[in-house]
Structure 1
Amino acid sequence: MIGYNPKDWWKLIFAFHRSDTFRFLLPGIIGVSVYTGVVAYIENDIFHASFKNTTVVHSLVGFVLSMLLVFRTNTAYDRWWEGRRLWGSFVNNSRNLALKLNAFLPKDNPARETLRILITNYIFAAKEHLRSGVHPKKLIPLGQYDADFYSNKKHIPNNIMGAIYQEINNLHTQRIISGDRLILLNYELQSFSDNLGGCERIKRTPIPYAYSLFLKKVIFLYVFTMPIGFVIEFKYWAIPIVAIIFYVFASIEVIAEEIEDPFGTDANDLPTDSIYETIKENLEEIL
């Protein structure tokens, strides 16, 4: 995720970052400009066409298309924001769990270090699970919980959470943690799986295919029929007009596509790497 100052207007206006849709859409903008120029030459210089009210239809359709794009953007942003809330919950609940364990466990109990590493590994595994998958060798090894322990596992976060439950149950069996305290720990432990399940729901449930397909077709038809009418009224000035309209409409769709799956490594995705580092530092300080 990119950090920036939203009040720095001039820097943002003239900035060109790899996440800027202008870079991604530049070939399309050039193609639309050339296409509009060809249509303008054919209609004005060869056929000398003289249609009337050529922009009325596109004005009406443009309003409807704008409403569709607003809905598309809001839906994508809702998914992005829900993902951010879930990862904020990871931060809060990991702190709460660590604070409770710090209070419940003696300072010299080795389970403190074991649980700290397991919780850290769980957050890291959750982050990678939502991307391209977890590589066991990147997890922090600890006794029996080494790379071999996680090998051939389809859902590594589940296995780590199972190990956390087992370690805490052992503490309860050894009467280091009482039953009442075990109940107090249960909420944070359960919230980890709930949060990850919410993230998986966002990632594995994209915008319905029919809706996405329809919207792209409408944008394509709208932009590529626009020069036919606009060049009669605006002549060759239709070239920048159509190019700008294409950039605006297509950019909204491209941005929505990027943020609707917010757990990757794109520039506008959630900063899960920095969130993981924050949680790791908190656990090291508390436990």
Structure 2
Amino acid sequence: MVNYNPKDWLTFIFKFHKSDTFRQLLPMMIVIGVYSATICYLEISYWKLSESSHVKNLTLMHTTVGFVLSLLLAYRTNTAYDRWWEGRKAWGSLVNNSRNLAIKLSAILSTDADRAFFRKAIPIYASILQKHLSNEESSKVLFEELNLQIDQHNHRPNQVAKSLFHKLNSLYKSEKISGHQLMVVNAELQSFTDVCGVCERIKNTPIPYSYSAFIKKFIFFYIMTLPFGFVFSLGYYVVPVVIFIFYVLASLELIAEEIEDPFGGDANDLPTKKIAENIKKQVEELL
């Protein structure tokens, strides 16, 4: 995730970050510029269309359709941001519940061996969830001290959550914790699986293909027809104008594509690895 100062306008305007859409769209912008210049040449110098040509009236279509396109892009961007923010809230909940669980266990558990188990196991859940969502392989080093047998082909977060529940149940059976104490920590443990479910729903349910494909086609044909009508009023200045309009519209779609899955490795995705590391640090302090 990119860290920045929202008040530093000059940095935003003149600095091109690697995640900036300008870099990604530059090849297509060059193609659009060449295409627009070709249309200008054909209409002005080759076909020599007059001001009374019906082609000039194409601008009426763009005025009407442009409003519809702006509504679609606004909805697309808001939907993608809602998914990004819901993912951040889910991980925030994981942080809070990991802390609460560690605080309660620090008061309930009396032996160092039991504390050591949860001191390692609670952060491992966050780390495994991060790797699970980003489709990374989890290292066996994570489980050596706990002697956990994790099957890489099955649901990894569930296996860690199962081990946590089994350990608490074992403590209850050995009468190291009471039934009331078991109920006290049950809510936090259950929330781990709830957070995992929320994140999986976001990751495994992308924006419907037909909707995403329609917007891309809409933008493409809108841009491709822009030079025909605007040549009469702008001449060759239509080239930078069309390039700029394409940059704005396509950038909104690219931004929405990037943030709709907030658990990947893109620059604007959630810093889940850093959050997992913070959970590890704080749980170790508490236990």
Please indicate, yes or no, whether the TM-score normalized by the shorter chain is above 0.5: yes
TM-score, length-scaled by structure 1: 0.96
Secondary structure at the aligned position of 2:84 is classed as: helix
> Where does residue 279 of structure 2 map in the other structure?
279
- Is residue 97 of structure 2 the alignment partner of residue 97 of structure 1? no
> Where does residue 73 of structure 2 map in the other structure?
69
> Where does residue 29 of structure 2 map in the other structure?
29
Alpha-carbon distance between aligned partners in 2 of 1:138 and 1:219, rounded to the nearest angstrom: 49
TM alignment of 1:193-232, pairs within 5 A: 193-232=193-232
Alpha carbons 1:203, 1:261 under 8 Å: kept:
yes
Q: Which digits, 9 at most, give the CA deviation of each residue in 1:197-216, with x for residues without a partner? A: 00000000000111011111
Deviates more, 1:150-159 or 1:177-186: 150-159
Aligned amino acid, residue 90 of structure 2: L
- Is residue 85 of structure 2 the alignment partner of residue 81 of structure 1? yes
Aligned amino acid, residue 270 of structure 1: L
TM alignment of 1:148-163, pairs within 5 A: 149-163=149-163
Alpha-carbon distance between aligned partners in 2 of 1:37 and 1:152, rounded to the nearest angstrom: 55
- With over 3 angstroms needed to count, the CA separation of the structure-2 counterparts of 1:236 and 1:138, relative to structure 1, is farther
TM alignment of 1:134-173, pairs within 5 A: 134-145=137-148, 149-173=149-173
Aligned amino acid, residue 49 of structure 2: A
One of 38, 53, 59 as aligned partner of 1:55? 59
TM-score, length-scaled by structure 2: 0.96
Alpha-carbon distance between aligned partners in 2 of 1:9 and 1:143, rounded to the nearest angstrom: 49
Alpha-carbon distance between aligned partners in 2 of 1:152 and 1:124, rounded to the nearest angstrom: 14
Q: CA deviation at 1:138?
A: 4.9
One of 125, 132, 150 as aligned partner of 1:129? 132
Q: Indicate the percent of aligned positions where both proteins have the same amino acid.
A: 52
Q: Which digits, 9 at most, give the CA deviation of each residue in 1:33-82, with x for residues without a partner? A: 01000100011011111234341211111111000000000000000000
Alpha carbons 2:37, 2:239 under 8 Å: kept:
yes
Aligned amino acid, residue 104 of structure 2: K
Aligned amino acid, residue 12 of structure 1: F
Alpha carbons 2:123, 2:283 under 8 Å: kept:
yes
Alpha-carbon distance between aligned partners in 1 of 2:146 and 2:34, rounded to the nearest angstrom: 65
Alpha carbons 1:73, 1:253 under 8 Å: kept:
yes
Q: Cα RMSD over matched residues?
A: 1.1
Alpha-carbon distance between aligned partners in 2 of 1:58 and 1:138, rounded to the nearest angstrom: 59
Alpha-carbon distance between aligned partners in 1 of 2:82 and 2:257, rounded to the nearest angstrom: 13
Q: CA deviation at 1:115?
A: 1.2
Alpha-carbon distance between aligned partners in 2 of 1:95 and 1:35, rounded to the nearest angstrom: 58
The count of aligned residue pairs is 283
- With over 3 angstroms needed to count, the CA separation of the structure-2 counterparts of 1:152 and 1:90, relative to structure 1, is closer
- With over 3 angstroms needed to count, the CA separation of the structure-2 counterparts of 1:195 and 1:161, relative to structure 1, is same
Q: CA deviation at 1:140?
A: 4.2
Alpha carbons 1:54, 1:233 under 8 Å: kept:
no
Q: Which digits, 9 at most, give the CA deviation of each residue in 1:165-188, with x for residues without a partner? A: 111111111111100010011100
Secondary structure at the aligned position of 2:67 is classed as: helix
Aligned amino acid, residue 265 of structure 2: T
> Where does residue 259 of structure 1 map in the other structure?
259
One of 118, 123, 131 as aligned partner of 1:120? 123
Gaps of 5+ in 1: none
Q: Which digits, 9 at most, give the CA deviation of each residue in 1:98-151, with x for residues without a partner? A: 000001011x33011111211111100000100123324252422422xxx113
